[in-house]
Amino acid sequence: MAITRQLFGGAITAQTPPDLLDASDVRQVPDTQEVFMYPHSNVSIILEILQRVEASHYNDAIRFHFQSLAHDNSARSATVQSVNVVPNDRGDDTPSAIVLKGIQLVEKFNHTAPDRVQIFMALYRVETKAIDVALTFNVPLDSVDEGKAEDSTVEKAGADFDTFVRSLHIVDFGLFA
């Protein structure tokens, strides 16, 4: 079951699980991000408005954002497993989604052994506004502490990501002015 969530003041909508926790209720979140967490695991979701990267081919653009995330996470390694396009066939102006699945090895909280994190990423290139809208689900597969997601949570996160990606609708392009 999913609900329609109003993002960025309703300028973007998407179908999400109803029980997501809004990170802005517990910490400061930049105006360019919407951040959510699963209530019973360390799965996190970030929807972010970014300046459009120079890469013109969709494969290069999403790989750039994936590598940028790896850099920001100080990942030991970042492996792309797949890249594909999910066409928007709804008839609105929301761009089709470029979808990447990958793995990053990320050291967290001063641990020496890295966590293995499944990354689900989608990129919507708003060419007319020189904007990239990036959606990222971070799903810990192996964790030094108790943060590992159960197999059922990993499956649910994959299904939730697919629903979010296919339902994301840019309602008001004025958001990117």
pTM over cut 0.85:
yes
Residue 63 domain boundaries: 20-169
11, part of any domain: no
Q: How many domains does the chain have?
A: 1
Q: Looking at residue 52, which CATH number applies to its domain?
A: 3.40.1000.10
**Separation CA 99–CA 158 (nearest Å):** 12
C-alpha distances in angstroms, 65 versus 6, 45, 70, 88, 125? 24, 15, 9, 21, 12
**Three state DSSP letters for 116-143:** EEEEEEEEEEEHHHCEEEEEEEEEEEEC
**Residues 6 or more apart in contact with residue 18 via CB below 8 angstroms:** 1, 2, 3
What pLDDT digit, counting tens, does each position of 31-50 carry?
Answer: 999 999 999 888 999 999 99
What pLDDT digit, counting tens, does each position of 141-174 carry?
Answer: 988 777 778 888 899 999 999 999 999 999 999 9
15, part of any domain: no
C-alpha distances in angstroms, 55 versus 61, 65, 71, 79? 5, 10, 18, 19
Supply φ then ψ for residue 101, to 5 degrees: -120, 130
What pLDDT digit, counting tens, does each position of 60-83 carry?
Answer: 999 999 999 999 988 999 999 999
175, part of any domain: no
Name 51's bridge partners.
Answer: 131
Question: Which tokens sit at 21?
Answer: 């926790």
Yes or no: say if 76 and 97 are a contact pair by the CB < 8 Å rule. no
**Separation CA 114–CA 116 (nearest Å):** 6
7, part of any domain: no
